[in-house]
Amino acid sequence: MYENQKLGLAYISPYIIGLIVFTAFPFISSLIISFTDYDLINTPSFVGLDNYAYMVSDDTFYKSLGVTFAYVFLTIPLKLSFALFIAFVLNFKLRGIKAFRTAYYIPSILGSSVAIAVLWRAIFSLDGLLNTFIGYVGIPPVAWLGEPHFAMLSVTLLRVWQFGSAMVIFLAALQSVPQSQYEAAMIDGASKWHMFTKITIPLITPVIFFNFIMQTTQAFQEFTAPYVITAGGPAKSTYLFSLYIYETAFKYFDMGYGSALAWVLFVIVGIFTGISFKSSKYWVFYSGDKGGKNGG
Amino acid sequence: MIKKSMLCLSISVTLVAGAATVQADELRFSWWGGNSRHEATNAAVDAYEAATNSVVKTEYTGWGGHLERLTTQIAGKTEPDLMQTNWNWLPIFSPKGTGFRDLRDFSSQLDLSNFDESALALGTINGKLNSLPVSMAARIFYYNKDTWAAAGLDYPGTWDELMAAGPVFKEKLGDEYYPLVLEGRDVMAMNRSYMVQKYGIPMIDESKRSFAYSEDQMVEFFTLYADMIKNHVAPSQKYISSYGAANLYEHKPWINGEWAGLYMWNSAINKYGDNLKPPMTMALGSYPIMDGAESSGIFYKPGLMFSISKNSEQPEEAARLLNFLLNEKAGIEIMGLQRSVPLNSYAREVLAANGTLNSSDLTVAGLVQINQLVKKIPTSGYFENPQLVSLFQENIEQIDHGQKTVEEAAKDFYKQGQRILRKAIKD
């Protein structure tokens, strides 16, 4: 029995070692570093809560935080509703539907790669693809990356476009909704819209919730797109929090403040997720569950 | 069964570890630069490998992100054996002279006799030669010959003529044509030069750990930028940013000759010239000097340097490679002027003899001009502090977007800049 445990541990040791070395160790050490003044080269000196105190008067901190929330609140609803809509359409039994399902998933496979961000820059640049197209219908070029609001939208659209992974999960959920419920509704004369809002949506709320949490935590940590497309500009309008953390740590060599910023982001994401979980009992329905405000 | 599994596991671990260490004797060499430098340096490394039967792993990138990458490597003690370094990195990596190997320790591999002692002094900290200067460089004016010819203008000889060129470009060539293109760090250096000529003071007073300007002078510093934009001398940061985040020389208006001038390091000019759409070429401008100015205010420093890692297991090999690149005929000829005009006197002889070093090259012509300019007020090593440069960039962008007036931007930059300088300049 004991021997078996040892063998089991040996098998999972690559994961355990990876977790300790690449996750737990940096996690703990960043917390310690956040209480120091450390430039990577010289020995760190302990400064107590100085880094956290400085944040209170740091304009860039507030600016970057505001930009991050704007980004998250813009990206998540757009991405989730788009993913759900496409999943809904792809759930119909049509000829060649599998090819479409694959096609819509492709952008997601590309992940957060730099190459895609470079492509995006080429599309939205003043001399880019988008302006060339709108030029054909006589619209003058728009400074997509030069105007703060447009720049934010351009960066957002990149992640919205990568709706595939959320879509696949939605698709699986849609397929698990029992047909009998729709048949019953049809007999009662319900419209398609009614069936969607009264049957489909409630039954897939656990999956909506799952996608919401996954996408939100990811969005809070977005880095590649603004870094490559706009470098946080113009006038810091796409200067997401992770960019500020990165520049503070690796451009200004202020590891202490960078780590403190990272921990604040961690706490914010934690609180946000916590609130989402608390709220979930009012709107997420699990099958066989009596919960929910209508349950009983 | 268990024993067998453990055996398998340990074998695979050994295999993975073995694969990682099999190349232990290869030498690592890193640099940043443009394509032409990459090609020349790789060719020089190939020649070294062939001559010495050794293996060198090259790690090269563009300028963007190179410092961040190197810092991470140095912090993790995984930096390359031989590194191209920058003069203003010395206070970061080696404040006491112990951050890199003392290059004087390798006298049997590396010959220093052809380097000017006063230049070597710029790479020496606490008596230790941390970095070997390859060349000296300064920022000067270069213009797109063809666009300026189309505008029908001579290159400006005074600051007023530069300001006056903007409206002519706009009128004759169109809205998208500008005499110059400048990013934040270029604007800072150019305005600093203007202020040195006008007031005879530098921007930063290291002894006081603060700006040397008064608040009014800082407003003037920012007004210079605003006036250039207003006069169509250079595109605004807002306009440049609408092409996305990339190097200036990768933007279409640069390639097409719409942005027709630079205030740029003479050592970097060829990568800008190389990217112009043929047959367009660059030309050296003259340096505007105010009447009565005692110094040009030019930003003059060692262009590039090489350092050997203190963690290197084969520093002698690194020194030998460095010697090949800088002191040996084969290396010198292949590297050419890709790291600007060599400081090494023997290298200059070699390059002059084979015709590489001729005054028609923009870097060489620039150096001739630089040598003639008065350089009384040296630039602080903190002038290019990344946080200070970012702060300046942010403030001029805010002027462009109408989020701040010139006065507000100057005031904010002054206040926050003082804080950055106090923190950066350690007593």
B266 and B169 both lie in a single domain: yes
Q: Chain A: nearest CA to B142, how far in angstroms?
A: 25
B189 domain-assigned: yes
Selected residue with higher pLDDT from A61 and A251: A61
Phi, psi of B57 (to 5 degrees): -100, 120
DSSP letter at A255 equals: H
Judged by average pLDDT, the poorest of A149-153, A232-236, B83-87, B422-426 is: B422-426
- Mind listing the pLDDT tens digit for each residue in B359-385? 788 988 998 898 888 888 878 878 888
* Candidates A41, A125, A143; nearest CB to B75: A41
Chain position carrying tokens 């009384």: B376
d(CA A274, CA A261): 20
Determine which of A126, A145, A152 to mutate to test the interface with B (most B C-beta atoms within 10 Å): A126
- Helical ranges in B242-343 per DSSP H: 252-255, 269-274, 315-327, 329-335
Tokens (6 digits) for A196: 């969607």
B268 domain-assigned: yes
B410 and B282 both lie in a single domain: yes
* Candidates B6, B99, B241; nearest CB to A41: B99
CATH number of the domain encompassing residue A267: 1.10.3720.10
A118 domain-assigned: yes
Judged by average pLDDT, the poorest of B33-47, B263-277, B353-367 is: B353-367
Taking an 8 Å cut-off on Cβ atoms, the answer to whether A7 and B2 are in contact is: yes
Sign (positive or negative) of CA dihedral A214, A219, A223, A226 = positive
Q: Chain B: nearest CA to A83, how far in angstroms?
A: 28
Interface residue B386 vs chain A (CB under 8 A) = yes
Taking an 8 Å cut-off on Cβ atoms, the answer to whether B241 and A144 are in contact is: no
Interface residue A10 vs chain B (CB under 8 A) = yes
- Mind listing the pLDDT tens digit for each residue in A143-173? 999 999 999 999 999 889 888 888 999 999 9
Calculate mean pLDDT across residues A20-27: 94
Q: Which long-range contacts link B70-76 to residues 24+ away (Cβ below 8 Å)? A: B70/B30, B71/A40, B71/A41, B71/A250, B71/A253, B72/A40, B72/A250, B74/A40, B74/A41, B74/B99, B75/A40, B75/A41
Give the chain A residue whose CA is nearest to the CA of B250. A122
- Considering chain A, what percentage of its residues have pLDDT values greater than 90? 59
A3, A22, A34, B308 from A27: Cα distances, Å: 32, 9, 11, 32
- Mind listing the pLDDT tens digit for each residue in B119-177? 788 788 888 999 999 998 899 999 999 999 999 999 999 999 999 999 999 999 999 99
CATH number of the domain encompassing residue B351: 3.40.190.10
Interface residue B74 vs chain A (CB under 8 A) = yes
Overall domain count for chain B: 2
For residue A253, the chain B residues in CB contact (below 8 A) are 71, 92
Overall domain count for chain A: 1
Q: How far is CA A30 from the centre of its chain?
A: 23
* Candidates A40, A122, A148; nearest CB to B71: A40
Interface residue B403 vs chain A (CB under 8 A) = yes
B15 domain-assigned: no
Give the chain A residue whose CA is nearest to the CA of B396. A235
Strands B132-144 and B261-265: antiparallel
Instruction: State which of B317, B337, B363 marks the end of a domain.
Output: B363
Q: Chain A: nearest CA to B253, how far in angstroms?
A: 9
Q: Angle B73-B424-A232 (CA atoms, 0-180°, nearest 5)?
A: 65
A31 domain-assigned: no
| CB < 8 Å from A in window 270-289 of B | none
pLDDT above 60: residue A290: no
| B96: containing domain | 27-135+302-363
Taking an 8 Å cut-off on Cβ atoms, the answer to whether B390 and A251 are in contact is: yes
Among candidate residues A37, A39, A257, A46, the one with its CA nearest the CA of residue B94? A39
A27 domain-assigned: no
d(CA A252, CA B337): 32
Query: Can you give the C-alpha Rg of chain B in angstroms?
Result: 24
- Mind listing the pLDDT tens digit for each residue in A227-285? 999 999 898 999 999 999 999 998 888 999 999 999 999 999 999 999 999 998 888 88
Instruction: State which of B342, B363, B384 marks the end of a domain.
Output: B363
B169 and B268 both lie in a single domain: yes
